[in-house]
Amino acid sequence: MVCYVGKCCTHGEVQSELKSLIPDAGLRRRMSRVVKMAVSTAVESLGGVAEIEQVDAILTATGWGCLADSEKFLHNLITEQEQLLNPTPFIQSTFNTVGGQIALLGHNHGYNMTYVNRGHSFEDALLDGMMRLADGESKRILLGAFDELTPTVERITERMGWWRNHQKGEGAAFMTLTAEREAESVARVVKLDFLREELSEAELRSRYALSEETMIRCCDEKEVPFYPTFAATRFVEAVRCIEKGAKEVLLYNKCMGDNPTVMLLQWLG
C-alpha cells in the first residue's frame, strides 16, 4: 500500500485567524481549547472551511481525548453532588468530538472514524486511511491527531514521575492523503509497519534497505514533547524535511511503551 501526502499542518504552523477557520460562532463558543486547536489545524491544513466537503473521509486519532471537558464534567458531578449539571462538557467530552465537529462545520457526510489507542493512535488511523485508499473506498482523506495537556493531567503525570525524563507537550497535526499523485502531493508513504520488537538504527537500516541518506527520526527522544500522538506532528515535520530536499525519512515511534511502529516517507522525485 502506498498513499500520497498533500497539504499538511501542525498546530504551531496555523497562521489564519480562528474566526476564519471556525466561522460558526455558536460552534466555536462551545468548543474547548483542544477542540479549537484540532479543528482549526484541520481547516488550516485543508486551506479553508469550503475544502471540508472535498474530502470523503475524516480520520482522527487521540490518546487522551477531550480531557478538559471530561475533567470539568467529573469535577462538577462531584462538587454539585450530581445535581443540575451543565451538559455541554459531557457532550464535548467524547473522543470523536473533533471528527464530528469538522464534519458538522463542512456538512461532510463521509466516513468518520476515531482511534484512541495510546502511542500509536495516529498510525492506526493512518492504516485505516491507507486501506480505504487502496480499496478505492476513498479518494481524498483528512487525517489528523490531537492531544492536550491540562493542569490536572500535568499534576497527575508529575506525580507519576513522567517529567523527570520527558518534555511536557501537546499538539495537533492534520494532513490530506490521496490514492493518486496530485498537483499538491509533496511526499508518499511507502511503508507502515507495526513491529513486534524494538529495532536499533542499524537493524532498521538493514531491514528497510535504507540508504546512507535516509533520515531516521524517533518520536520518543528526550528532547521532544511527550504526548500520545506526537507521531503525527513528527510526520508533518518529516514532510517538511522532504520539501526541503530530503529523499527519504523513516519515523520510528515507540511512544508510551507500546510496540514500535515504522512509517517510511519518500520524496516524489
> Which positions lie near another protein, rule CB under 8 A?
1, 30, 58, 63-65, 70, 73-75, 77-79, 81-82, 85-87, 90-97, 99-101, 103-104, 106-118, 120-121, 124, 128, 131-132, 134-135, 152, 155-156, 159-160, 194, 196
Q: Shortest Cβ distance from residue 78 to another protein (Å)?
A: 6
In the complex with another protein, the residue whose CB is nearer, 107 or 244, is: 107
In the complex with another protein, the residue whose CB is nearer, 21 or 246, is: 21
Q: How many helices (H) and strands (E) does the chain have?
A: 10, 9
Q: What is the DSSP string of 210-238?
A: --TT-EEEESS-TTSB--TTHHHHHHHHH
| CA 47 – CA 42 distance, rounded (Å) | 9
H-run or E-run covering 94? none
In the complex with another protein, the residue whose CB is nearer, 19 or 155, is: 155
Q: Shortest Cβ distance from residue 208 to another protein (Å)?
A: 18
**Which residue, 140, 131, 61, 45, is CA-closest to 96?**
61
How far, in Å, are 38, 60, 228 from residue 12 at the CA level?
A: 11, 18, 17
Instruction: State the residue for C-alpha cell 540508504.
Output: 211
Q: Shortest Cβ distance from residue 234 to another protein (Å)?
A: 19
**And the C-alpha cell for 192?**
507502515
In the complex with another protein, the residue whose CB is nearer, 56 or 237, is: 56
Q: Shortest Cβ distance from residue 104 to another protein (Å)?
A: 5
Contact 248, 264 (CB under 8 A): yes
Q: Shortest Cβ distance from residue 142 to another protein (Å)?
A: 12
Q: Shortest Cβ distance from residue 117 to another protein (Å)?
A: 4
- Compute the Cα dihedral for 147, 152, 158, 163 and give only its sign: positive
From the centroid of its chain, how far is CA 71? 22
In the complex with another protein, the residue whose CB is nearer, 135 or 184, is: 135
Contact 43, 55 (CB under 8 A): no
In the complex with another protein, the residue whose CB is nearer, 2 or 116, is: 116
